[in-house]
């Protein structure tokens, strides 16, 4: 490991908070995750460094081959000094072509790095734009669904109120019609009684003369019979009135008890429905949390399995690469000399610089990932809070609707009871007036009163039955709509949670993909830069070596120099520059 990594590792020693049973598990897990992440990046950097070493070794072998060929040519030039000027011109042209080719390589590398960086920035911007658009669309859909739900609840409340008003109006109209019919019958009866009275008065006037003769003889008998009939009629009327009062009181008590029983049954059914809805909601929440935990455990297990497989594969490939690298290094070290030492030094410097740049880039990437992850978590938390707020608003609207419906039902029930009481009071008043008016026509009036009383009782029972049926239908409708609203709330909550989970997964996937591509682009750019720098270094070394060789060749080609020492100097120079001695012989 380079010295820079050792210093960095010493600076990043973990410090965990102590809790009741040891270190904080969350910090330990984060530290282990971070170390695993650094280990993977270190293995990746090692693989890249190994590939760079292989490439540099290949380049070094090629350059050594070229150097050997050049040395051979120089030996031939030394053997024939007359062609030195032409050889110098060819070497100058070769150097010029090499410089042009290097410039072309550098330009292509710069263009490729710029295009790769532009593609990475474009993809990052598009990914961020897609995530923002999807988040805005999700939020807009949630707002529209909340508005539709609120509108449906208000419309249902309005329809329920209209139906209750219509039922109340119909009940009131029926009661008014019944009262009008009773009043018409009463008026008709009064008119009939008045006509009958007039007729009786006329008959009395006409028969007065006839009755005067019999009046004195029948006075005692008629007076006794009249007293007896009046006493019997009064007793019978009082008995019937008392029986009717008792029957009406019993019917009213039965109706009141039945109404109280229905109210208690409705309250019990409503409480049972509320308890069942609460239990179903809790069961659904527990089931959703259980399924979410199971899916998260499966995902973590699959991720761990995949991580182990990748690490095993990387370990096998690393061992193979290390073995091949060791064999190649042993072979290369046998042939390298001072030039190999300088190359290794330059490679070590470049590797240290590359590792430092990688560490800086890794820290920058970690900061960006942390910021993006925090943004994604904040967006998810906002979506969850919006969904919970929407749920609370819907529940509040349902509670308001339920309270308004109960209040309206109570009002309608009180109105119906008041109307029934008023009808009973009117009937009793009409009964007393009728009994007082038809004392002379007892049999006929008693029959009519009995018929009217039975009709009134039937109508009252019908009104009470209709009111109870309307109450039952209204409570059933409210229960159905409450169940439907709770089902809509559960579906809306599940949809919101699913959308939030999909949004988070998609954002994390796109973020990981963008980060991976950005890292690959940076790694490729650094790789190309390192290769260009290494090529420049090797070419500089070759240029220096060629200059020394040409200088020695020119010195050997001068007329004053001796041939034998020149050959020895060439052989010595070739040996010192890493060229085999047999190439000079």
Rounded CA separation 72/92 (Å):
18
In a domain, 13, yes or no: no
Number of domains in the chain: 1
Structure tokens at 372: 């993006």
* Residue-wise burial string across 78-93, b where 16 or more C-beta atoms lie within 10 A, e elsewhere: beebeebeebeeebee
Length, in residues, of the chain: 585
Residues 6 or more apart in contact with residue 397 via CB below 8 angstroms: 150, 153, 154
Rounded CA separation 315/39 (Å):
12
Which residue range(s) make up the domain with 520? 33-579
The answer to whether the beta carbons of residues 324 and 50 sit under 8 Å apart is no
Structure tokens at 426: 């009117």
The answer to whether the beta carbons of residues 524 and 51 sit under 8 Å apart is no
* Residue 247, CA atoms < 13 Å, CB-side half-sphere: 12
Structure tokens at 226: 């009249």
Structure tokens at 539: 């070419």
In a domain, 453, yes or no: yes
Q: What pLDDT does residue 530 have? A: 74
In a domain, 380, yes or no: yes
In a domain, 135, yes or no: yes
Structure tokens at 18: 């102590």
In a domain, 11, yes or no: no
* Residue 255, CA atoms < 13 Å, CB-side half-sphere: 22
In a domain, 4, yes or no: no
Helices (H), 336-441: 338-437
Chain segment 400-451, per-residue pLDDT in tens: 766 776 676 677 667 656 765 676 666 667 656 656 665 665 666 567 667 7
Q: What pLDDT does residue 516 have? A: 73
Cβ atoms within 10 A of the Cβ of 72, count? 13
In a domain, 484, yes or no: yes
Q: Which residues are bridge partners to 22 per DSSP?
A: 19
Rounded CA separation 143/378 (Å):
18
Per the listing, tokens 């072509």 go with 97
Rounded CA separation 372/259 (Å):
64
- Give pLDDT tens digits along the chain (585 positions): 444 444 444 445 555 566 666 667 787 788 888 888 888 888 888 888 888 888 888 888 888 888 887 777 767 666 665 555 445 656 666 776 777 777 777 777 677 767 776 776 776 667 667 766 766 666 676 567 666 766 776 787 678 778 767 877 787 787 778 777 877 887 887 888 788 778 877 776 777 677 677 667 766 776 777 677 777 777 777 777 777 777 777 777 776 777 777 777 767 877 877 777 678 777 777 776 777 777 767 767 776 776 677 667 767 766 776 676 667 656 655 665 555 556 556 656 666 666 676 667 667 766 766 676 676 566 656 655 665 676 666 567 666 766 776 676 677 667 656 765 676 666 667 656 656 665 665 666 567 667 766 765 676 577 667 666 766 676 676 667 667 766 766 776 677 567 656 766 665 666 666 567 667 766 766 776 676 677 667 777 777 777 777 677 777 766 554 444 444 444 444 444 444 433 333
DSSP 281-328: HHHHHHHHHHHHHHHHHHHHHHHHHHHHHHHHHHHHHHHHHHHHHHHH
The answer to whether the beta carbons of residues 377 and 435 sit under 8 Å apart is no
pTM, two decimals, is 0.20
What is the bridge-based pairing of β-strands 22-23 and 18-19?
antiparallel
In a domain, 6, yes or no: no
Cβ atoms within 10 A of the Cβ of 118, count? 11
């Amino acid at each position: 490991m380079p010295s820079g990594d050792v210093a960095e590792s010493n600076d990043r020693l973990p410090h965990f908070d102590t809790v009741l049973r040891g270190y904080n598990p969350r910090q330990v897990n984060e530290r282990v995750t971070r170390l695993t992440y650094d280990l993977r990046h270190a293995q990746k950097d090692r693989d890249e460094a190994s590939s760079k070493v292989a490439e540099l070794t290949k380049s070094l072998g090629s350059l050594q081959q070229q150097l050997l060929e050049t040395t051979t040519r120089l030996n031939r030039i030394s053997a024939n000094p007359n062609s030195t000027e032409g050889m110098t011109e060819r070497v100058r042209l070769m150097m010029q072509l090499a410089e042009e080719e290097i410039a072309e390589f550098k330009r292509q590398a710069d263009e490729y790095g710029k295009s790769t960086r532009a593609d990475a920035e474009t993809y990052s911007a598009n990914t961020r734009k897609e995530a923002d658009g999807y988040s805005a669309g999700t939020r807009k859909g949630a707002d529209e669904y909340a508005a539709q739900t609120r509108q449906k609840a208000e419309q249902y409340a309005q329809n329920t109120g209209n139906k209750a008003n219509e039922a109340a109006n119909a009940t009131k109209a029926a009661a008014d019609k019944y009262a009008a019919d009773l009043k018409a019958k009463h008026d008709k009866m009064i008119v009939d009684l008045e006509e009958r009275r007039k007729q009786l008065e006329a008959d009395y006037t006409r028969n007065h003369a006839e009755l005067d003769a019999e009046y004195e003889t029948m006075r005692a008998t008629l007076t006794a019979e009249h007293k007896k009939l009046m006493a019997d009629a009064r007793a019978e009327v009082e008995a019937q009135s008392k029986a009717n009062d008792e029957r009406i009181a019993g019917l009213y008590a039965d109706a009141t008890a039945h109404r109280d029983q229905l109210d208690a049954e409705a309250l019990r059914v409503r409480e049972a429905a509320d308890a069942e809805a609460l239990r179903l909601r809790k069961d659904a929440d527990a089931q959703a949390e259980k399924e979410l935990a199971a899916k998260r455990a499966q995902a973590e297990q699959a991720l761990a399995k995949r991580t182990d497989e990748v690490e095993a594969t990387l370990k096998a490939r690393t061992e193979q690469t290390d073995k091949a690298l060791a064999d190649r290094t042993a072979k290369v070290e046998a042939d390298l000399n001072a030039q190999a030492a300088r190359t290794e030094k330059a490679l070590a410097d470049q590797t240290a610089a590359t590792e430092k740049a990688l560490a800086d880039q890794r820290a920058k990437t970690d900061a960006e990932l942390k910021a993006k992850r925090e943004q994604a978590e904040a967006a998810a938390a906002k979506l969850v809070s919006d969904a919970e707020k929407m749920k609370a608003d819907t529940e509040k609207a349902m509670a308001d609707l339920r309270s308004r419906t109960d209040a309206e039902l109570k009002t309608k029930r009180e109105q119906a009871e008041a109307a029934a009481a008023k009808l009973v009071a009117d009937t009793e008043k009409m009964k007393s007036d009728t009994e007082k008016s038809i004392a002379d026509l007892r049999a006929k009036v008693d029959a009519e009163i009995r018929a009217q009383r039975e009709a009134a009782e039937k109508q009252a029972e019908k009104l009470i039955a209709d009111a109870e049926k309307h109450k039952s239908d209204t409570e059933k409708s409210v229960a159905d709509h409450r169940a439907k609203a709770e089902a809509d709330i559960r579906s809306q909550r599940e949809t919101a949670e699913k959308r939030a989970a999909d949004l988070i997964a998609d954002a994390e996937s796109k973020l990981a993909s963008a980060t991976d591509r950005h890292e690959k682009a940076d790694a490729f750019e650094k790789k190309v830069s390192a290769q260009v720098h290494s090529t420049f270094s090797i070419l500089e070394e070759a240029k220096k070596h060629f200059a020394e060789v040409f200088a020695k060749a020119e010195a050997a080609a001068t007329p004053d120099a001796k041939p034998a020492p020149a050959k020895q100097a060439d052989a010595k120079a070739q040996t010192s520059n890493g060229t085999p001695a047999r190439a000079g012989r």
